[in-house]
């Protein structure tokens, strides 16, 4: 599931023609955290995922199946 989240973040960022730096500024987090997240070496908190979603103008939905 974490790789699906990563894939969706990268896709949304690219569709918005946004750099990692721009996303970090909009989300209020460090660019290095965006980079580490996209490489799969950072396990973001729920709070960070909410900030990233807001920076992407998206809604965050988490569900159990």
CA–CA dist 19, 38 (Å, integer): 12
Read off the pTM: 0.91
For residue 52, what pLDDT band results from cuts at 50, 70 and 90? very high
For residue 65, what pLDDT band results from cuts at 50, 70 and 90? confident
**18, burial (CB in 10 Å: exposed 0-12, middle 13-18, buried 19+):** middle
* Alpha-helical regions (H) of the chain: 2-15, 20-27, 31-39, 46-55
């Amino acid at each position: 599931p974490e790789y699906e989240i990563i894939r969706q973040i990268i896709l949304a960022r690219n569709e918005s023609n946004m750099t990692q730096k721009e996303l970090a500024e909009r989300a209020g987090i460090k660019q290095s955290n965006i980079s580490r997240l996209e490489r799969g070496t950072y396990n973001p908190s729920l709070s960070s995922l909410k900030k990233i979603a807001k920076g992407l103008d998206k809604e965050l939905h988490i569900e159990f199946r």
